[in-house]
Amino acid sequence: MLLFGVGNTIGASIFNLIGIAYEYTGPSVCLGYLISGFAALMSGLSYAELSSRLPLNGSSYSYIYFTIGEIYAFIVGTFTSFG
């Protein structure tokens, strides 16, 4: 049941990419996944810290607006809406 939930959350094609990455990089693909997992963890912890300090509804726009300023928040909000 757990794998069914994971497959629906991130998609099945990500599991095919492991084989393709292993073909090009060999056993060092494990190191690449560890580094990217660590980067994702740090990003998640940063957003958790920001959301505990600024209890507002919003996304990165709200965080940038209160920490740096309005023009940077506008730029971040504009570019994240295209993603």
Residue 66 to residue 82: CA distance in whole angstroms: 22
Tokens of 68: 């740096």
In angstroms, what CA-CA distances link 67 with 41, 50, 63, 76? Answer: 22, 10, 6, 13
pLDDT digits (tens, 9 = 90+) for 34-73: 898 899 899 888 878 877 887 777 777 888 888 898 999 8
Mean pLDDT across 24-42: 88
pTM over 0.75: no
Domain range list for the chain: 2-81
User: Helix H segments across 1-56?
Assistant: 2-10, 13-25, 29-53
Q: What is the number of residues in the chain?
A: 83
